Each structure stands twice: as structure tokens, then as C-alpha cells.
């Protein structure tokens, strides 16, 4: 959205001195938009954090189910799994957890290709984990899409709200200054303004 009264200097200063009803309406709209963008950014970061930790737990549960299933099959068929194969699968699983934890969780790099590549070692454990690799790519892509959209908004990444002041306010302190007090003062000074009715 193009702002008529709000410039980058005003955003950097963190406040705007309202002199008309039009400026007040724009400052109010900017603050509403800033809160929406901040909440969207926080939801996006929580989504990636919950998925990153949750998938490690999910893959551990799936791994335990696969091991138990394999043991039950071997018990009835009298077959055994070679030790090297067990160790290779364990290495793949531990490598996945370590690489993913380092690159995505510790270094906070949720780009789609990083998430997918860091989860590839789990395929050494079992090909049935291909869904985790695909979901990691999808989650990283969604995260990057939302983040790129937010980068185009003013005051990214802080999305701070503007402090609205007026040189003609009846308020004595900043805590008494509200949108309603500014609107009431503007109504008294501009009784013919349609935006204030």
C-alpha cells in the first residue's frame, strides 16, 4: 500500500504528529497493517520451529515402529539382519538428526533446499522416510514464500507501530494520548470533515 503521509523517516523515527483527520486515518491504518505483518511473521517463525522439532520426534516414532515391525517379521521368519546393516541405518538416522539440528535449528537456515538436503541422510535408514524429505522442502518453500512477501512491507523485520501525537492534543502525558482523544480534538477543530463523523 502506498502511504501519502507516512515516509521512511517517520517510520524510522517511530512516531507521527497528526495534523489532519486524513493523517490520523492513515496512521491508524499503518499501525493495523504493522500489527498484522508482525503477527504473520511470528506465526511463520513458530510454524517452522514447531515443524523442525516435531519432525525429529515424528521420525523417531516412525523409526521405532519400523524397527519393531522388522523384529516381528524376523521373529516369525527366522531371518536376521546383518550387524553392518543395523549400524548403517543407525548412522543414517543419527546423521539426519545431527545435520538437520545444526543447519536448520542452530543456524536457523530454513531455506527449502537446505531443509531437504539436511534431511537426506535419513534415507540411509529407510526409504520410507522420503515423506519427511518432501515435507521439509514444502515447509521451507512455504516459509520462504511468506518471508519474501513480508520483505516487501515497510519496516521489515521490526514492524513497529507508530506513536501518534498531535500538537493540539488535550492529553498531558503520552499514556493519556489515545486515538479517541485525537479524534475528539480533530472533530472539534474540523466539524465539517466527513472522515471524522
Give the other-Cβ count within 10 Å of 141's Cβ.
16
Q: What is the pLDDT of residues 57-88, one digit of tens each?
A: 999 998 899 888 888 888 888 788 788 888 88
Assign 7 to helix, strand or coil: coil
Question: Considering only CA atoms, which of 192, 180, 165, 184 is closest in space to residue 23?
Answer: 165
Count of Cβ atoms closer than 10 Å to residue 136 Cβ = 26
Judged by DSSP in three states, 47 sits in helix
Specify the pTM.
Answer: 0.73
| Whole-number Å distance between alpha carbons of 5 and 170 | 23
Residue 44: which pLDDT band, with cuts at 50, 70 and 90? very high
What are the grid coordinates assigned to 61, written together?
516414532
Query: Which pLDDT value is given to residue 171?
Result: 55
Distances (CA, A) of 78 to 63, 73, 74, 137: 22, 8, 5, 39
- The closest of 181, 111, 118 to 139, measured between CA atoms, is 111
Q: Quick one: pLDDT at residue 146?
A: 94
Q: In the predicted model, what is the mean pLDDT of residues 42-64?
A: 91
Mean pLDDT of 33-57: 92
At 159-185, the pLDDT tens digits run: 888 888 776 555 555 556 666 777 777
DSSP track, 118-135: HTTTHHHH-GGGHHHHHH
Residue 183: C-alpha distances to residues 23, 107, 122, 164, 170 (Å): 11, 47, 60, 11, 11
- What are the domain boundaries of the chain? 39-151, 163-190
Is residue 138 within 8 Å of residue 123, measured between CB atoms?
Answer: no
Amino acid at each position: 500500500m502506498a502511504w501519502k503521509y507516512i515516509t521512511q523517516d517517520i517510520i524510522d523515527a517511530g512516531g507521527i504528529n497528526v495534523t489532519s483527520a486524513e493523517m490520523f486515518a492513515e496512521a491508524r491504518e499503518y499501525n493495523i497493517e504493522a500489527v498484522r505483518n508482525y503477527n504473520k511473521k511470528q506465526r511463520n517463525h513458530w510454524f517452522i520451529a514447531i515443524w523442525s522439532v516435531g519432525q525429529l520426534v515424528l521420525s523417531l516414532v516412525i523409526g521405532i515402529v519400523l524397527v519393531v515391525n522388522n523384529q516381528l517379521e524376523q521373529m516369525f521368519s527366522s531371518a536376521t539382519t546383518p550387524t553392518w546393516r543395523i549400524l548403517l541405518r543407525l548412522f543414517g538416522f543419527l546423521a539426519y538428526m545431527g545435520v538437520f539440528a545444526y543447519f536448520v535449528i542452530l543456524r536457523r537456515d530454513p531455506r527449502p533446499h537446505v531443509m531437504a538436503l539436511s534431511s537426506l541422510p535419513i534415507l540411509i535408514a529407510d526409504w520410507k522416510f522420503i515423506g519427511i524429505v518432501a515435507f521439509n522442502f514444502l515447509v521451507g518453500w512455504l516459509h520462504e514464500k511468506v518471508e519474501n512477501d513480508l520483505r516487501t512491507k515497510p519496516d521489515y523485520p521490526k514492524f513497529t507501530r507508530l506513536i501518534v501525537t498531535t500538537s493540539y492534543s488535550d492529553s498531558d502525558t503520552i499514556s493519556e494520548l489515545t486515538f479517541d482523544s485525537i479524534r475528539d480534538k480533530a472533530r472539534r477543530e474540523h466539524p465539517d470533515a466527513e472522515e471524522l463523523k
